[in-house]
Each structure stands twice: as structure tokens, then as C-alpha cells.
Amino acid sequence: MRRTLSLLNRLTEVDLRISDRVSEEDLLRVHSEEYVEAVKRLSQVEETAPRWTRRAEDLASEFGLYGDNPPFPDMFDVSRGYVGVVADASRTVRDGARIAFGLGGGLHHARRNRASGFCIFSDGSLALAILRERFSRVAYVDIDLHHGDGVQSIWLDDPSVLTYSIHESGKTLYPGTGFIHETGSAGTSINVPLPAKTTGEVFLDAFRRTALPILDRYRPEAIVLQMGTDAHAMDPLGHLRVLAQDWLAAVAEVNQLGLPTVVTGGGGYHLGTVPRMWTAAVLTLAGIEVPNEIPDDLAHAWGTPTFMDQESSLPPTFGSEEVDDVVGEIIRDVLPQVPKG
């Protein structure tokens, strides 16, 4: 986040706003009372551990607060912080802005009743709820390496929210979901699972051939874009081989829809790729041309000279045949079920 901000500040004037932590009332729009209460109680776990150990353990195991999501002091307030930023961006768009960013958000694995995959609260789901106050149909577009399972689960059967996620297949990666036929009762949950090792041009082609016709049919009035960068070839968590330029082209496609858009961050675990990809995306979404080169001192410190990847780092095309089948199945079986806007 710091690297992204310093890079952005060099290249453009950022209208940076400090947001309030999200209110409990807002959290309860997308999470259960018991879960919010458990996060709150476990945030005090250190101070109260001698008396609460048994109860704390029970709460932690019931609500997924272990493993990737261990309780920590102030967990409740810290998590309300990142959701607050996205809620603020969402209200800004609801109230008329064409676009607003909450790059600290995009924690798409949190469920109504459970923490998962580093995610405590579902900022993306709250963004959708806030946009729904003004717009009758909204779409969530998730280009993170991982399936956006939390947001999908919270909105699964609601015809007024369409969720779209393109990701590495659950056969080879956490969270093990996101298959084509998880469409929900309203036909508004769309998943594009890609095989491990899929390269960038195949990813982009699959995105264009699925997201564009689906959004064209559904006709959302506003969009939440989750732009995790972890599908990048250098990211250590997964097995997709997307380059910055392919990923950025997908971001640009969403932007070309010209709809009111709330933009969040998401996953991304390689410090040489995340800041340049997010910066390039923010510039693109703001209609500012992305320069070729990263300012010298930062480039030197980070070991990345350019925003886009070098052509010489292109891996040989992989995945086109299997992805053709995935796209074909989506167009044949899923697209016709999407409610027409």
C-alpha cells in the first residue's frame, strides 16, 4: 500500500481522503450479529486470555478465526478501518462520483458468518449494498487470482446483484470453489475457472469472451471492481502466469463500460508487482496515460524498471484449449440464464 501510494503521488495528484471506520450498523448489513460480536470479543483476547481461554477457543473455531485468520489485538477496529475506506468510496459513487478507490479493501473471502483467507469483513459486499441504495442492478467483477467466494456466498440468490469471478480453478487452489455451475437460483453468480499455468493472453481472452457478453446482457447500473494482482506470473501464491499488461487490459475493459465504479484492491503478494500494477490501474481508470518507466530511485529500490512486463519474460501460451471449453460452456449454459436488464 505504501509503495503504491508513493508511486501514485509521484505521477499524479491523488485526492486522498481519510475515512472513518465503518459502523457496526453497516457491518450488520452483510454479517451476522454473532460473528461481529465474536470478532469484537476476540480482539481483546490478549488482555482477557486467562479468563476467556476456553470461550475464546470455542468462538475462534466457530467463526474461522484461526489459521490464516488468527485473532490479534484491535482486530475489530483494524478491520473496520479497511471496510470504512471502501464504504466511503461506495457512498461517494452512490452520491454521484463516476469512480472512487478503496485500495485497502477487496477482502473477498470473508463470509456472513466466518473469517477466511486473511479476510475478516466483506468490504466488497458492503459496497454492493451501498450501491444498491441508488442503483437497482449492480455487478461485482473480481479479477483476483482466487475465487471471490465470500462475496458470491453473501449475494448468491439475489437477482439485483451479479457476481463475476475469473480465477485459478478450485481444483488446484484455495478456496476450492468457483466452478461454472455455481450460478445461484437467480443465475447471477458467474465463475470462470482457469487451469493452473494459464498465460496472460488466454486469461484476457477468456475475460473478454465471458465478462463482456454477461455484463451486456445483465446491464448493471454500477460496478464494484475487485482488482487483486495475484494472478501475475511472479506472484508466489498461485499458478497463473498473467502479465501486468494483460491484467491491465481487463481493468481497461471494465472502465470502458463507463459505469459508476467502486474500485478495491485485493490479493497480491509480490512487492515488485503489486505497486506498479495498482498504480497503472488507478491511472488507467482515472484516464491518465501510464508511463513506460518507473521513476529511477523507486525502480532501483524495488528492482522493477517498467510498469509493464518485458516481452522477453513472456511464457509460451498455455491453457487455450481447456479455457476454450470453459468459455464455451459458460456461453452455452450460463449466459442464457442471466436475467436480462
**Taking the CB of residue 326, how many other CB atoms lie within 10 A of it?**
23
Name the residue nearer to Zn ion (CB basis): 145 or 338.
Answer: 145
User: What are the two backbone dihedrals, phi and then psi, of residue 42, each rounded to the nearest 5 degrees?
Assistant: -75, -15
State the residue number with the nearest CB to Zn ion: 267
CB of 229 to Zn ion, least distance (A): 9
User: Which residue number, 178 or 228, has a Cβ lying nearer to Zn ion?
Assistant: 228
Q: Which CB, 88 or 230, lies closer to Zn ion?
A: 230
Least distance from Zn ion to the Cβ atom of residue 300, Å: 28
Read off the C-alpha cell for 30: 452483510
Rounded Cα–Cα distance for residues 85 and 158 (Å): 25
d(CA 176, CA 149): 9
Shortest reach from residue 147's CB to Zn ion, in Å = 9
Name 221's Cβ contacts closer than 8 Å, sequence gap at least 6.
Answer: 135, 136, 137, 138, 259, 260
Catalytic (active site) residue 300: no
Q: Does residue 178 contact residue 167 with C-beta atoms inside 8 Å? A: yes
Name the active-site residue from 31, 109, 146, 232.
109
Question: From the CB of 271, what's the least distance to Zn ion, in Å?
Answer: 15
Least distance between Zn ion and beta carbon 107 (Å) = 10
Compare residues 17 and 171 and give the one whose CB is closer to Zn ion.
171
Residues 6+ apart with CB under 8 A from 93: 99, 100, 131, 222, 260, 261, 262
- Which residue, 65 or 107, has its beta carbon nearer to Zn ion? 107
E-only strand ranges, 195-264: 222-226, 261-264
Minimum separation from the CB atom of position 140 to Zn ion (A): 15
Handedness of CA 125, 127, 131, 133 (dihedral sign): positive
Nearer to Zn ion, 109 or 209 (CB): 109
Binding interface with Zn ion (CB under 5 A): 144-146, 228, 230, 267
Residue 213 CB partners (closer than 8 Å, separation 6+): 331, 335
C-alpha Rg value of the chain to the nearest Å: 19
Residues carrying an active site annotation:
109
